[in-house]
Amino acid sequence: MSDDPKKSGLTLVFSKMKGQGQKSPPRVKTSYIFWSWVGSFIGIFAVASITYRAGVPMMIGSFGASAVLLYSALEGPLSQPRNLIGGHVISAIIAVAIYQALGKTDLSVALAVSLAIVAMLSTRTLHPPGGATALIAVNTEQGLSFVAYPVLAGALVLLVVALIVNNMAPDRHYPKNWI
């Protein structure tokens, strides 16, 4: 289990918790912080405006986490369009199916989140907020319409804003890939 014969079992597990000695990441440039704020503000404002003004239900908590990825960690693989859309939609479909089959229980919430993770990994669409979308779907007892509104529609709004705002700054480029 370990190269060091003295470390095995729980000792090995606890020794890994000490960290690997890496330093904290460097400070982020002020311009990067500014554009992250602009993108997240406009993205969430757009989704909230559609929800509150037009009466189209598009506001879910997992979009806050997607905003962090899309506007502040835009270079990462988990922030790319395929992951954003696929991760949310796949998670929502799985969670709605679990809820329809099992109702709202501790088991159904756990199954929805864990199976959403398996599906995202299997389809190369891992987007951590998708796990929250799955939890929200079961916990708020959603039907199939949840997949279209708020999940797909809201994720598309966030994506359009990310495409515009992230490319307005000279040192930012989004997306890194589509597929």
Query: What are the tens digits of pLDDT across the range 162-178?
Result: 999 999 999 999 999 99
Residue 170 lies in a domain: no
Lowest mean pLDDT among 48-52, 55-59, 149-153: 55-59
Residue 15 reports pLDDT greater than 90 = no
Has residue 22 been placed in a domain? no
Any domain includes 161? yes
Strand, helix or coil for residue 102: helix
> Considering its fold, how many domains does the chain have in total?
1
3-state secondary structure of 73: coil
Quick one: pLDDT at residue 5? 56
Q: Please give the pLDDT value at position 8.
A: 73
pLDDT tens for 28-41 read: 999 999 999 999 99
**What's the confidence (pLDDT) of residue 109?**
98
Is 2 within the bounds of a domain?
Answer: no
Domain around 144: 29-165
Residue 117, pLDDT score: 98
Return the pLDDT at 4.
57
pLDDT beyond 90 at 57: no
- Dihedral (Cα; 129, 132, 134, 137), 10-degree rounding: -120
Place 20 in a pLDDT band, splitting at 50, 70 and 90. Answer: confident
173 within a domain of the structure (yes/no): no
Q: What is the 3-state secondary structure (H, E, C) of 4-38?
A: CCCCCCHHHHHHHCCCCCCCCCCCCCHHHHHHHHH
pLDDT band at 1 (very low <50, low <70, confident <90, very high): very low
**Is there a domain that residue 141 lies in?**
yes
pLDDT digits (tens, 9 = 90+) for 67-77: 999 999 999 99
Evaluate whether residue 15 is within a structural domain: no
**Inside any domain, residue 9:** no
